[in-house]
């Protein structure tokens, strides 16, 4: 019985398939609906192409090759500032066989970003790798082989080799967090903007900024490095343009200018990883 039923069903399916051969599938309403779908798809593709072609190149904003920007930085652990990074990274080696000269540090050679043991990021791009929206804190960290994320701060051997891991490092018995606080200008008097993740992607958007990399008890406020106030003098060490305040002293809205640089008209990026500290714990 089961075999007879299966055979009968198979025959019915075969008959239905035979009847459908050669028949055209018609959309209800004629050709209007498929035409509308086709037009919508084409318009969508054209919009995507236009948007991609018209958006600004990430490298088209300041800083550009030839600009000399300076930003103060410091690394703060528990209750004190770590020593400033040493080495200008400008050493080169001459190939005796070819006569070609190359930088010993390839990261420096491809970007030009460095320091002078002065607590200052000398942001002087050599190539388009470090310009525009590519100008980030991570470029400086890479030149000095520093590992930085929200779980770990590790310095290379030539910078002391210290490692701070939130899983096993404490400040006076208190658990710690790693964060970066950034100020738009060394003249700012506010708390700055606190980042809790994606530290290498923090952008360097203008001359005269300040960055504090901190390993501190959770909720601790962090201030600028004390040498940030000396940024104009420190930045002049290699003859580059130095930041100068554009407003009267004491104005908390102070900005900076860089002689010879073009002011960016780029809209501020929205960074969902940035938060402003609101704790009242004193630190730094």
Q: Does some domain include residue 129?
A: yes
Give the confidence band of 5 by pLDDT, cuts at 50, 70, 90. Answer: low
Q: Does some domain include residue 123?
A: yes
Place of tokens 């601790």: 220
Mean pLDDT of 15-24: 59
**What is the spatial distance between Cα 274 and Cα 268, in angstroms, rounded to a whole number?**
13
Which run of H or E residues covers position 11? helix 2-20
Expressed as residue numbers, the domain containing 254 is 68-275
Q: Does some domain include residue 143?
A: yes
Cis peptide before 82 (omega within 30 of 0): no
How many independent structural domains does the chain possess? 1
Q: Does some domain include residue 258?
A: yes
Structure tokens at 181: 């606080």
Q: Does some domain include residue 243?
A: yes
Query: Could you read off the pLDDT of 160-201 as tens digits, one per residue?
Result: 999 999 999 999 999 999 999 999 999 999 999 999 999 999
Give the confidence band of 113 by pLDDT, cuts at 50, 70, 90. Answer: very high
CA distances from 27 to 22, 24, 32, 231 (A): 16, 10, 9, 72
Q: Does some domain include residue 18?
A: no
Query: Whole-model pTM?
Result: 0.66
**What is the spatial distance between Cα 178 and Cα 161, in angstroms, rounded to a whole number?**
17
The DSSP code for 239 is T
Q: Does some domain include residue 51?
A: no
Give the confidence band of 235 by pLDDT, cuts at 50, 70, 90. Answer: confident
Whether residue 69 has pLDDT greater than 80: yes
Give the confidence band of 77 by pLDDT, cuts at 50, 70, 90. Answer: very high
Query: Could you read off the pLDDT of 253-263 as tens digits, one per residue?
Result: 333 333 333 33
Q: Does some domain include residue 88?
A: yes
Place of tokens 């004190």: 80
Task: List CB contacts of 202: < 8 A, sequence separation 6 or more.
Answer: 136, 137, 138, 180, 182, 195, 211
Query: Could you read off the pLDDT of 124-173 as tens digits, one per residue?
Result: 998 999 999 999 999 999 999 999 999 999 999 999 999 999 999 999 99
Radius of gyration over alpha carbons of the chain, in Å? 30
């Amino acid at each position: 019985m089961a075999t007879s039923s299966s055979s009968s069903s198979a025959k019915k399916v075969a008959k239905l398939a035979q009847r459908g051969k050669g028949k055209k599938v018609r959309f209800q309403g004629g050709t209007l609906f498929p035409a509308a779908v086709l037009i919508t798809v084409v318009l969508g593709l054209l919009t995507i192409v236009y948007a991609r072609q018209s958006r600004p190149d990430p490298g088209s904003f300041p800083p550009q090759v030839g600009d000399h920007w300076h930003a103060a930085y410091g690394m703060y652990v528990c209750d004190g500032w770590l020593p400033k990074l040493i080495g200008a990274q400008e050493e080169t080696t001459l190939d005796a066989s070819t006569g070609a000269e190359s930088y010993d540090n390839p990261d420096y050679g491809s970007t030009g970003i460095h320091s002078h043991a002065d607590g200052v990021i000398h942001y002087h791009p050599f190539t388009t790798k470090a310009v525009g929206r590519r100008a980030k804190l991570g470029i400086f960290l890479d030149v000095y082989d520093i590992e930085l994320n929200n779980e770990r701060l590790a310095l290379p051997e030539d910078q002391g080799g210290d490692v701070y891991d939130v899983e096993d490092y404490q400040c006076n018995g208190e658990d710690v967090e790693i964060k970066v606080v950034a100020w738009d200008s060394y003249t700012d008097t506010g708390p700055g903007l606190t980042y809790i993740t994606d530290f290498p992607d923090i952008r360097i958007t203008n001359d005269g900024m300040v960055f504090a990399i901190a390993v501190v008890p959770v909720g601790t406020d962090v201030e600028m490095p004390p040498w940030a106030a000396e940024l104009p003098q420190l930045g002049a060490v290699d003859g580059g343009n130095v930041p100068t305040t554009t407003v009267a002293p004491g104005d908390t809205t102070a900005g900076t200018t860089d002689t010879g640089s073009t002011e960016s008209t780029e809209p501020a990026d929205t960074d969902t990883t940035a938060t402003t500290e609101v704790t009242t714990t004193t630190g730094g």
